[in-house]
């Protein structure tokens, strides 16, 4: 599990309250590095400080830049939260996906930045062209525009909650998750073969949907490589008398 | 899956912005019923309306009460978000747990209310004594006090995200989840027996930890009753040649 703490970058922010509230949410959920790009208010801001409550050190240590490019120096991977689907040729993922990538350390100890645009018009296309991937928070279809500090809260809380649930899962600590799906697929093939030779899939027309349901169970369990090896051991053990019979 | 939409009840709210922002977050994530108890501002409030943006209908339709007791008439199950651990004899669960209970409809189509106290001092002990269970949002140890509208956002987003992930899981739609753990435990016993007679657990001192790891895989998959029945069918099929051998 990654202990990396992404930097939060707020671009073109118009309201001091939102900077203070974003800092408060960051502090609630264990993040600490805040950068501002072209804030539309005077900086430092007494209002932002007052609203941040106990998160004052985050506001005091916030770095201020003229361009997103400068704020991204030293960052190896960056995600931009955008409300609208852009027509740019940029990969778009969900909040849940980015949080999972960070917790599972898919970017391999890179310095990560998470970027949020201004209240009125979000990020410019030029700014978006500087980041690695775009992220959208899934919302009800009726109203997709989140308050800026709420968007920061959703990200920080989701990251903290997943890190926390990973920490609580002592059994799996230090194990590598399946990135390479082929090991999982070998287990599926092994299971399918053993069930096939015993005539499990009856009627045969239902085999495809039965297989999907079975595979789904194991997909949902998000198995580590060690767990897949255990399940293959279980399968071998359960079927070994048949093997002997055949010899 | 439950399509129930809990009522959000804000008690003793001091800032109009927080009511408007709570309504905005509710609307972002598909909730619509808002009740206010003893708001510390004049009501209706132009400021709350302005801040709510597109969620204006939620503000316009909000019901206003003098007491929490009145606001809870017709509600069968209620959860109060509290920051501090109370010394009252009241069950306390996490945000993730309450969201899961609602999505899995564990309260069986009851009308549900989710209650948030005021910015300064939260809910009174008297108000807490009126609700079914207390909920806390897990935070970093350094700073546990969430902004009111952020707490509402965390709940509404978590509920929406889980409902959404359930909806996307077409395979399991309409199935009953395991509430009764005994079916899962029968499957565990069945698996353990079949592995035992084949000498799977070697060395035998390691059996307890091997069993825990195996059970964990299936716990994590959150099996439905139908899925447990499928897995028992798989187990029976995989081992049936041994059964024949014994006869």
A176 inside domain = no
Please state the domain count of chain B. 2
DSSP H helices, B90-224, are: 95-103, 125-128, 148-168, 182-196, 207-220
Under 8 Å CB pairs connecting chains A and B tally to 172
CA distances from A93 to A11, A117, A157, A179, A216 (A): 20, 17, 17, 17, 22
Please answer yes or no on whether A233 and B143 come within 8 Å at the CB atom.
no
pLDDT per residue as tens digits for the range B121-167: 899 989 999 998 999 999 998 788 999 999 999 999 999 999 888 76
Closest among B63, B2, B236, B25 to B148, alpha carbons compared: B25
Ranges under pLDDT 50 in chain A: 1-3, 170-171, 173, 178-179, 242-247
CATH label of the domain that carries residue B111: 3.40.1280.10
B96 contacts in A (CB within 8 Å)? 161, 165
CATH number at residue A228: 1.10.8
Predicted local confidence at residue A185, as pLDDT? 86
Where is the domain boundary, B111, B144, B170? B170
- Are A134 and A32 members of one domain? yes
Are the Cβ atoms of B96 and A161 closer than 8 angstroms? yes
Cis check: omega of the bond before B44, within 30 degrees of 0: yes
Closest C-alpha among A167, A157, A116, A168 to residue A29: A157
Tell me the nearest-neighbour CA distance from A63 into chain B, angstroms.
22
What per-residue confidence (pLDDT) applies to A169? 62
By the 8 A CB rule, do B43 and B36 touch? yes
Between A226 and B85, the higher pLDDT residue: A226
To the nearest whole Å, the CA of A91 is away from the closest chain B CA by 21
Measured between CA atoms, the residue of chain B closest to residue A224 is B217
> Which of A140, A195, A210, A215 should one mutate to test binding to chain B, selecting the residue with the greatest count of B CBs within 10 A?
A140
Whether pLDDT at B170 is above 60: no
Binned at pLDDT 50, 70 and 90, residue B168 comes out as low
For residue B75, give how far its alpha carbon lies from the nearest alpha carbon of chain A (Å): 25
Cβ pair A67, A37 in contact under 8 A: yes
Residues of chain A in contact with residue B234, where contact means CB-CB under 8 angstroms, are 191, 195, 200, 214
Dist. CA B185–CA A19, nearest whole Å: 50
Tell me which residue in A154, A222, A237 faces B157 most closely, judged by beta carbons. Answer: A154
The pLDDT of B208-234, averaged and rounded, is: 87
The reply to whether A32 and A101 lie within a common domain is yes
Interface contact B214-A230, CB threshold 8 A: yes
Boundary-marking domain end, from A138, A170, A202: A170
Q: Is B86 part of any domain?
A: yes
Are B220 and A221 in contact (CB < 8 Å)?
yes
Establish if A175 belongs to a structural domain: no
Same domain, A14 and A129: yes
Q: Are A134 and A122 in contact (CB under 8 A)?
A: no
More confident residue, B238 or B105: B238
- The answer to whether residues A57 and A144 belong to one domain is yes
Q: What is the mean pLDDT of residues B193-220?
A: 89
Q: Is the pLDDT of residue B73 over 90?
A: yes
Q: Of A12, A191, A114, which is closest to residue B231 (Cα–Cα)?
A: A191
Reported as type and span, the H/E element at residue B233 is helix B225-246
Q: Quick check: is A2 in a domain?
A: no
Say yes or no for a CB contact (<8 Å) between A138 and B161: yes
pLDDT above 70: residue B173: no
pLDDT of residue A157: 97
Predicted local distance difference test score (pLDDT) of residue A171: 40
Cα B39 from Cα B11, distance rounded (Å):
7
| Domain shared by A76 and A52, yes or no | yes
Q: Is residue A54 located within the same domain as residue A160?
A: yes
Measure CB to CB from residue A239 to each of B29, B220, B238 and give the nearest one: B238
Over residues A217-231, the pLDDT tens digits come to 888 787 888 899 999
Give the range with max mean pLDDT: A173-177, A202-206, B27-31, B216-220. Answer: B27-31
Whether residue B83 is contained in a domain is answered as yes
Nearest to A24 among B27, B147, B158 (CB): B147
The full DSSP string for chain A is: -----PEEEEES---HHHHHHHHHHHHHTT---EEEES-SS-SS-HHHHHHTGGGHHHHHT-EEESSHHHHTTT-SEEEEE-SSPPSSS--EEEHHHHHHHHHTTTTTT--EEEEE-BTTTB--HHHHTTSSEEEE----TT-----HHHHHHHHHHHHHHHHHHHHH-GGGTTPPB--SHHHHHHHHHHHHHHHHTTT-S-SGGGHHHHHHHHHHHHHHTT-BHHHHHHHHHHHHHHHHHHHHHH-
Q: Tokens 């698996």 appear where? A: B191
> Cα distance from B11 to chain A (closest Cα, Å)?
20
List chain A residues with CB under 8 Å of B199: 237
Q: Residue B221: what pLDDT?
A: 82
Which chain B residues contact residue A201 at CB under 8 A?
none
Q: What is the structure's pLDDT at A23?
A: 98
Nearest CB to A140 within list B29, B139, B217: B29
ipTM above 0.90, yes or no: no
Q: How far apart are CA A59 and CA A47, in angstroms?
A: 11
Q: Are residues B101 and B193 in the same domain?
A: no
B33 with B101, same domain?
yes
Looking at beta carbons, which residues of chain A come within 8 Å of B210?
A: 230
In this prediction, residue B171 has a pLDDT band, given cuts at 50, 70 and 90, of very low
Query: Under a CB-based contact definition with an 8 Å cutoff, are residues B75 and B112 in contact?
Result: yes
| From A28, A149, A172, residue closest to B143, measured CB to CB | A28
**What is the C-alpha separation between A190 and A184, in angstroms, rounded?**
10
Residues A150, A233, single domain; the answer is no
Please give the Cα distance from A158 to A29 (Å, whole number).
9
Given A21, A96, A238, which is nearest B161 (Cβ)?
A: A96
Among the partner-chain residues A143, A150, A217, the one whose CB lies closest to the CB of B54 is A143
Binning pLDDT at 50, 70 and 90, where does residue B88 land?
low
Looking at the complex, report in whole angstroms how far the Cα of residue B64 sits from the nearest Cα belonging to chain A. 24
Instruction: Kindly determine whether residue B147 and residue A149, on different chains, have CB atoms separated by under 8 Å.
Output: yes
Note whether A135 and A222 are same-domain residues.
no
pLDDT band with cut points at 50, 70 and 90 for residue B3: very low
Does B73 fall in a domain?
A: yes
Q: Of A107, A139, A170, which marks where a domain is finished?
A: A170
**Number of other residues whose CB lies within 10 A of the CB of residue A167:** 12
Yes or no, beta carbons of B150 and A150 under 8 Å apart: yes
Residues A75 and A151 in one domain: yes
Same domain as A185, residue A152: no
Strands B133-136 and B92-94, by their bridges, are: parallel
Give the gap in angstroms from C-alpha A47 to the nearest C-alpha of chain B: 15
The domain containing residue B227 runs over which residues?
181-246
> Residue B245 pLDDT more than 50?
no
Beta pairing, strands A112-116 & A77-81: parallel
Q: Is residue A144 part of a domain?
A: yes
In angstroms, the CA A152 to CA B105 distance is 29
Answer yes or no: is B58 within a domain: yes
pLDDT at position A220, please?
Answer: 79
Alpha helices in B3-52 (DSSP H): 16-28, 46-52
Q: Name chain A contacts of B245, Cβ cutoff 8 Å.
A: 241, 245
At residue A224, the pLDDT reads 85
Is B187 in a helix, a strand, or coil? helix
Placement of tokens 């977050």 in the chain: B25
User: Residue A174: what pLDDT?
Assistant: 52
């Amino acid at each position: 599990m990654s202990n990396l703490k992404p930097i939060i970058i707020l671009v073109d922010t118009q309201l001091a309250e939102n900077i203070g509230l974003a800092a408060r949410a960051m502090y609630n959920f264990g993040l600490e590095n805040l950068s501002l790009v072209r804030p539309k208010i005077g900086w430092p801001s007494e209002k932002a400080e007052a609203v941040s409550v106990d998160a004052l050190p985050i506001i005091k240590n916030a770095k201020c830049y003229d361009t997103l490019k400068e704020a991204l120096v030293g960052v190896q991977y960056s995600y931009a939260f955008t409300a609208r689907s852009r027509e740019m040729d940029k990969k778009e993922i969900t909040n849940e996906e980015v949080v999972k990538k960070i917790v599972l350390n898919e970017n391999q100890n890179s310095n990560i930045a998470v970027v949020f645009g201004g209240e009125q018009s979000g990020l410019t296309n030029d700014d978006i062209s500087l980041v690695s991937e775009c992220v959208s928070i899934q919302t009800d279809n009726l109203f997709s525009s989140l308050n800026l500090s709420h968007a920061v809260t959703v990200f920080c809380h989701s990251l903290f909650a997943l890190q926390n649930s990973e920490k609580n899962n002592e059994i799996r600590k230090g194990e590598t998750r399946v990135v390479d799906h082929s090991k999982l697929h070998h287990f599926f093939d092994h299971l399918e073969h053993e069930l096939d030779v015993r005539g499990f899939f009856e009627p045969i027309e239902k085999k495809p949907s039965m297989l999907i349901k079975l595979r789904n169970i194991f997909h949902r369990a998000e198995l580590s490589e060690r767990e897949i090896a255990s399940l293959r051991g279980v399968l071998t053990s359960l079927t070994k008398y048949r093997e002997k019979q055949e010899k």
